[in-house]
A and B are shown apart, each in its own frame.
Chain A
Amino acid sequence: MREKLIYLMGLAAALMLVRNLYVILLGLPDEADQGAIYRIIFFHVPSWFTAFGMFVASGTASALYLARKKQSYDELAVATTEVGTVFVAIGLVTGMIWARIIWGIWWTWDPRLTWALITWLVYAGYLMLRRAIDDPTARAKNSAVLNIFSFTSVMITYKAIDWWRTQHPAPVLSIRGAGGAMDPAMEQMLYLNWLPMLMIAIILVMIRMRQEGQQREIESLRRMAHAV
């Protein structure tokens, strides 16, 4: 059942991506100032949306774990966090490639960029803490608490473009009250491309969750072997 769902979603995502790529590359015109490179935004922004969604899910899962103490919430938390860091990496790298052309530099210590990098480091710390704890219950509990602490950095990254004057482009999307500075056709494309990316993320989360379950099985078998 789960396998089928994964394949089905993968297929749908692939079809959508092919169609989107066709429209992005051939259907939409170049941006006036930036030329062709603005097309990175169709992957850059959706990957941040996805990462944000993953971290919200993982924060929620951790809170639920602390409330109910069910292992599956812990599995969800670690899977979403790991996939979230992957999508943060995509967001950072695509942003850097765009910046190389538009700003002439790969990286600038601008608040938005800095916070994004901090977020990545904070969640990498979460994943490292998990590796350092051997006892499964203590691992789930302690990392859940750390995860809730980590979520603050996601919130700061999200608000950074409102709080500081940044070099990073101001919000152009109508959902953040920018009054639709972006062309509606392009904005629509952004969301259309987010859908397959989110689906890929969900597939990865499902696979990672199953692995975490296997890991737990191995650990419990090992304890059993020692007990015998």
Chain B
Amino acid sequence: MGYLRQVLTICGKDLRSEFRTKEALNASLAFALVILLLFSFAFDPSSEQINEISGGLIWMAFAFAGALILNRSFARELFNDCLDALIYSPVPGSALFLGKALASYVLLLIVELVSFPIFGLFYNVQWARKFGWLLFVLLLASWGLTVVGTMFSALTVNLRLRELMLPMLLYPMMIPALMSAMQLTTVLIAGQDITGDNWIWVRLLIGFDIIFTALAVAFVETVLVG
């Protein structure tokens, strides 16, 4: 079996089992909406202010919702020792990792693409004026979130305090990607183009994705097998 086939098999398996129960997806989506609702109490949702903080708002919601999905990524294999079975299967660790990351990526993107229109609706924000660029930022930042998150999910899978440790480790490490995404999303929602100073955020985002994907693929075998 080719490497790509292995990745897709793992990804397909994860997505299939997720779509059967929709456990993580529903929880994460509901959570994202609750957070968006809560933010409306933190400030006046009808004011002009919303344009300046929209990027930060929506990415906070995605980061929280994402942690729920990522927590499940490896934890779902704990029952019946599925994780051990996966590790001893002929699939290399990196393929297992990429497959799982890809599955979480798809789930996270679904949550994000559903949340965006709802956010726009409730906060009266025209979010889709630069949809192409926004999608580009969304794809890059979400990949960063999933790749680090899946890796840390593998790191913390055997811990008693798993649900607590993952966000503790994930959020500080995520800040470069999250910060870039927030800045760029704010600019794009306001309907402006990415110019001058803001290119650094795009570069940071791409650099983040490349570095952490490389690190994760290189070290995941060590984490899983030892």
Known: A133-B158, A146-B169, A149-B215. 7 other contacts (CB 8 A): A118-B175, A122-B173, A129-B169, A132-B160, A138-B226, A152-B215, A164-B200
A121 part of interface (Cβ distance < 8 Å): yes
Q: Contact check, A133 vs B219: say whether CB atoms are below 8 A apart.
A: no
Q: How far is the CB of A15 from chain B (nearest CB, A)?
A: 39
Chain B residue with the shortest CB-CB distance to A163:
B200
Which residues of chain B are near A132, meaning CB under 8 Å? Answer: 156, 159-161, 165
Q: How far is the CB of A111 from chain B (nearest CB, A)?
A: 9
Which residues of chain B are near A153, meaning CB under 8 Å? Answer: 172-173, 176
In Å, the complex CA distance between A112 and B87 comes to 41
Q: Contact check, A149 vs B200: say whether CB atoms are below 8 A apart.
A: no
Chain B residue with the shortest CB-CB distance to A131:
B161
A94 part of interface (Cβ distance < 8 Å): no
In Å, the complex CA distance between A137 and B223 comes to 11
A-B contact count (CB 8 A): 56
The verdict on A148 contacting B219 (CB below 8 Å), with A132-B159, A156-B176, A163-B200 known, is yes
Could you mark each residue 119-133 of chain A with 1 if its beta carbon is under 8 Å from any beta carbon of chain B, else 0?
001100100110011
Q: List 8 A-B pairs, Cβ < 8 Å.
A: A118-B172, A125-B169, A132-B161, A142-B223, A149-B212, A152-B212, A153-B173, A163-B200
In Å, the complex CA distance between A145 and B226 comes to 11
In Å, the complex CA distance between A89 and B169 comes to 19
How many residues belonging to B are interface residues under a CB distance threshold of 8 Å?
24
Which residues of chain A are near B152, meaning CB under 8 Å? Answer: 146
Q: Contact check, B173 vs A129: say whether CB atoms are below 8 A apart.
A: no
Q: How far is the CB of A109 from chain B (nearest CB, A)?
A: 11
Q: Is the interface of B mostly helix, strand, loop or mixed?
A: helix
B222 part of interface (Cβ distance < 8 Å): yes
The verdict on A133 contacting B223 (CB below 8 Å), with A149-B151, A156-B176, A163-B200 known, is no
The verdict on A150 contacting B223 (CB below 8 Å), with A132-B160, A132-B161 known, is no
With beta carbons under 8 angstroms apart, the residue of B172, B215, B219 that contacts A122 is B172
A141 part of interface (Cβ distance < 8 Å): yes
Chain A residue with the shortest CB-CB distance to B215:
A149
